[in-house]
């Protein structure tokens, strides 16, 4: 099956700094990727849709200036959490549709802890 | 809007017990339905799916039937193993290929010897 690789798998950063998370489709091209966030004991919530070569589409309530998304190539989307605060600590996970849009493939996720 | 409701966990079972995790949904149109599993320290993996009413998805001994009349997609397994311990998410998608997903809150399953 298709593989989506996410890096890093975990990161600890100081409050006020920025963190970049990468999501790569390893063996297929993805013009669209999705970014989700999962708080402890809660479900995954869609944050934004990343579109190759154009602006990302953000879900209601998600600050686009805080969560910068760049989809510069057909195999890479990045999520940058800017000026991170402890409340941004969460599990971030990306997904990409496989060829033919038959299903979504998920990265391993990134555990972000802001101290 | 679209939503998924699944039973709260955690669910603790003995090995070889029967498992049911309930899932109901509300959606406009005709959604595809999914069960994803998240093992400790790992990302989500698709467990099974069904794309239309009365379809039964199955994988690794797990089954779920798309019931349009009851808007349900309950997950079942006849005999669980310790290795099935994980968090199970029910999800739906009204987009092509299930790429923009609405998830339930997840149900943690713990299987003990």
The tens digit of pLDDT for each residue in B39-87 reads 887 778 899 999 899 999 999 999 999 999 999 999 999 999 999 999 9
Residue A104's pLDDT band (boundaries 50, 70, 90)? confident
Q: What is the DSSP letter of B28?
A: S
**d(C-alpha B11, C-alpha A87), whole Å:** 28
Give the span between the Cα atoms of A97 and B51, in whole angstroms. Answer: 16
Of the candidates B39, B55, B16, B15, which has an alpha carbon nearest to the alpha carbon of residue B89?
B39
Scanning the structure block, which residue is given the tokens 């949904």? B25
> Which residues of A1-115 form beta strands (DSSP E)?
4-7, 10-13, 19-25, 32-38, 44-51, 57-58, 67-73, 76-81, 90-97, 104-106, 110-114
Mean pLDDT rounded to a whole number for chain A: 91
Residue B94, pLDDT score:
82
CA–CA gap between residue A86 and residue B83 (Å, rounded): 33
Q: Which residue of A93, A98, A103 is in closest CB contact with B49?
A: A103
For residue A100, is pLDDT > 70? no
Q: Does B96 have pLDDT greater than 70?
A: no
Please state, as a whole number, how many other Cβ atoms lie within 10 Å of the Cβ of residue B96: 12
Searching chain B, which residue's CA lies closest to the CA of residue A109? B43
Residue numbers of A between 2 and 41 with CB closer than 8 Å to B: 6, 32, 34, 41
Residue B101 forms contact with A (CB below 8 Å): yes
The DSSP secondary-structure symbol of A87 reads: G
What residues of chain B lie within 8 A of the CB of A100, using their CB?
97
CA distance A15 to chain B (A): 24
pLDDT band at B93 (very low <50, low <70, confident <90, very high): confident
């Amino acid at each position: 099956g298709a593989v989506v690789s996410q890096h890093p798998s975990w990161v600890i950063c100081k409050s006020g700094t920025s963190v970049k998370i990468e999501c790569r489709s390893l063996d297929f091209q993805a013009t669209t990727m999705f970014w989700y966030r999962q708080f402890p004991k809660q479900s995954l919530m869609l944050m934004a849709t990343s579109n190759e070569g154009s602006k990302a589409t953000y879900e209601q309530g998600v600050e686009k200036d805080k969560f910068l998304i760049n989809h510069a190539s057909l195999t890479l989307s990045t999520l940058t959490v800017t000026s991170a605060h402890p409340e941004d600590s969460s599990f971030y996970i990306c997904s990409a549709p496989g060829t033919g849009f038959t299903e979504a493939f998920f990265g391993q996720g990134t555990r972000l802890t802001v101290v | 809007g679209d939503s998924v409701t699944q039973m709260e966990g955690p669910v603790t079972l003995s090995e070889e017990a029967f498992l049911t995790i309930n899932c109901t949904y509300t959606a406009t149109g005709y959604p595809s339905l999914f069960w994803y599993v998240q093992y400790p320290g790992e990302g989500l993996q698709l467990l099974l799916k069904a794309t239309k009413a009365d379809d039964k998805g199955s994988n690794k001994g797990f089954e779920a039937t798309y019931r349009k009349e009851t808007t349900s997609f309950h997950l079942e397994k006849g005999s669980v193993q310790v290795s099935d311990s994980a968090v199970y998410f029910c999800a739906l998608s009204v987009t092509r290929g299930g790429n923009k997903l609405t998830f339930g809150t997840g149900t943690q399953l713990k299987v003990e010897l």
